Amino acid sequence: MRAEAERDYGDYVAARAAALVRFAFLLCGDWHRASAPTTVDGRPATLISYAFPDGTYPYYGLLWQPVDGLWVGMFASTKDGVAELWSDVDALRLDHAQHLVLPLRLTRLPAGAHLLDCVAAIPVDQDYALAMVGVGDGHGNRADLTFGQYVRPDTEAGQGRPASLPTPNRTVAGHPMLWMSNMFVSDDYEGVPLALSVSGSYNEATATDILTGLVLSPNHKDPSTWPSTPVE
């Protein structure tokens, strides 16, 4: 069971970290992963590290069970290295209910869809930070919204990403968008790069309806001003 959870969390960290430092590196396999046993409050834990060629700082992930049957995973990438991760672990409170907020809200979901997962970050030296939210019906139909991931012009073109997007070919809720196969992309959606991908039976019409109900917070830096839930 533990080996399974460690593998699943390793895959999760890899997927999320790749989104933060460019998914193309995962596709080409140009990254390095290492893991080591450790403890959190006396409980067995696994520390996972990732190094990406274009990443300014390495990524560190930690997996442990604060109590039997409950797995917790955290990851961080800052100038403070692994010390930041341990600081975040020390600050984590599991003895009272909490909720996660994002600088956006999805007000129109496909029938039967609900929140599946989300990732939030607080910007430090820029006007916005990465936010990700996944919704779906739990039966292979899924939509993933990524907020603030790519900034263009891309200075690392040639690594599998165009330096700039092609001309938008759709207009959704008054916003010029590029539709590519199963994804809407915009370099400037109310001032923020944004992408929405769909899978399963979800299609362009589904993605269009989801974006029509997207509401962005006017303040991308202050979590106290963000919606209380990312979906409604």
Render pLDDT for 22-76 as a digit per residue (tens, 0 to 9).
Answer: 333 333 333 456 778 889 999 999 888 877 655 677 778 888 888 888 888 888 8
In 3D space, the residue among 160, 220, 224, 223 whose CA is nearest the CA of residue 192 turns out to be 220
pLDDT at residue 21 in the model: 37
Q: Of 47-51, 91-95, 152-156, 220-224, which range is least confident?
A: 152-156
Determine the Cα angle at 50 with ends 27 and 197, to 5°. Answer: 40
Domains of the chain: 2-91 (no CATH), 104-225 (3.30.200)
**Of 107, 101, 183, residue with least CA distance to 145:** 183
In order of 34, 45, 46, 155, 211, the CA distances from 122 in angstroms are 27, 26, 25, 24, 23
Location of structure tokens 């995962």? 26
Per-residue DSSP letters for 32-66?
EEEEEEEEETTEEEEEEEEE-TT-SS-EEEEEEEE
Residue 211, pLDDT > 90, answer yes
Report the pLDDT value the prediction gives residue 7, as an integer from 0 to 100: 56
Alpha-carbon distance of 135 to 13, in angstroms, equals 19
Cβ neighbours around 115 below 10 Å, total:
15
Q: CB count, 10 Å around CB of 47? A: 19
| Poorest-pLDDT segment among 49-63, 74-88, 119-133 | 49-63
Q: How many CA atoms lie within 13 A of 230 on its CB side?
A: 22
Angle, CA 96 vertex, CA 135 and CA 102 arms, to 5°: 35
pLDDT at 149 over 80: no
Closest among 125, 103, 144, 140 to 16, alpha carbons compared:
144
Q: For residues 9 and 61, is the Cβ–Cβ distance under 8 A?
A: yes
The CB-side HSE value for 19 (13 A sphere, CA atoms) comes to 22
26-29: long-range contacts at Cβ-Cβ below 8 A with a sequence spacing of 24 or more?
A: 27/160, 28/160
